[in-house]
Amino acid sequence: MSIGIVQFGGSNCDLDVLHVLKDVLGVDAELVWYKEESLERFEGIVIPGGFSYGDYLRAGAIAARTPIMTSVKKLAEEGKPVVGICNGFQVLTESGLLEGALTTNEYPKFRCEPKYLRVETTDTPFTSKFKKGEVVSIPIAHMEGNFYADESTLSSLEDNGQVAFRYVDKDGKATDEANPNGSQENIAGIVSAKKNVLGMMPHPERASEEILGSKDGLRIFESMVEFISNK
C-alpha cells in the first residue's frame, strides 16, 4: 500500500500528513510534486492544507488546474480514496471532484482553533472508525471555509448521506455559535456521490497524537488505510 501526498507551491501541511501516515500509522507514503502526471502507483491520495499559489484568484483555483489533478480525477474515478484537507477541500471543489464552493468566512478573519464536529455518516472510507452522531474535536485554520451550495445541491447532499461532518457545540448541537465560518447547514466536510472523495476544512493531521490535545483526527486516516487494505 502506498499513499501519495500532493504538493503545490504554497502547501504547508504536507509534512504533517506524511508524519501521521509514515511515523504514526507506519504506512508507505510519498510526497508528490504537482507536475507529476501519473499516480498509478498509489492506492490513495491526500491533498493537504496550505495556501497553494497564495490563494490568488480564489483559494484552490490555480492548483485545481495543474497537471496532477487530471491524474487525481482518474484515480477517483477508479474508486480509490482521495482526501482534501482545508486548502485541499478548496482544490477539490474548484476541480469539480466535489460539489459546492468554499468562500470567505462570514466574518472575514483567519480562524485557528479547536472545533467540535459531529460525525454524520460512517458509510465512507474515511469515517468507518467513528460512531454516527459522535462528537469529536479537530482544529480549523482557514479564512475561506464558508461552504456554499445552492438549495438543490444541499438537498442532494443531505438526502444522499454526503455530509460527513458538521460543526456543533460540545453537546452535539449544530448552532450558529458553533459555526466558525458561516457554512450552510454547519457543514464542515462532504463526500462525493460515490463516497470515495472527502473534503473537509478541519485538519485531522493536527489531531492525530495525544500531545496535540486530540487523537480524533487519526481515525480518518485509519479508516482510509483499512479501506485500502480490504480492497
Q: Under DSSP, is residue 12 helix (H, G, I), strand (E, B) or coil?
A: coil
Q: Spot the catalytic one: 13, 99, 142, 203.
A: 203
d(CA 93, CA 100): 6
Q: Which residue has the cell 480492497?
A: 231
Q: Is 13 a catalytic site residue?
A: no
Q: Are 61 and 94 in contact (CB under 8 A)?
A: yes
Length of the chain: 231
What is the Cα–Cα distance from 17 to 128, expressed in whole angstroms?
19
- Please give the DSSP secondary-structure letter assigned to residue 184: G
Among the listed residues 94, 120, 144, 205, the single catalytic one is 205
Q: Which of 86, 94, 99, 142 is catalytic?
A: 86
* 58/148 Cα distance (integer angstroms): 14
Q: Which three cell numbers stand for residue 175?
A: 448552532
- Hunting for cell 462528537 — which residue is that? 135
Active site residue 144: no
Between the CA of residue 11 and those of 5, 8, 29, 66, 113, what are the distances in Å?
Answer: 10, 5, 17, 14, 20
CA pair distance 87, 49, nearest whole angstrom: 5
Q: Are 99 and 190 in contact (CB under 8 A)?
A: yes
Mapped onto helix, strand or coil, the DSSP state of residue 153 is helix
What are the residue numbers of the active site? 86, 203, 205
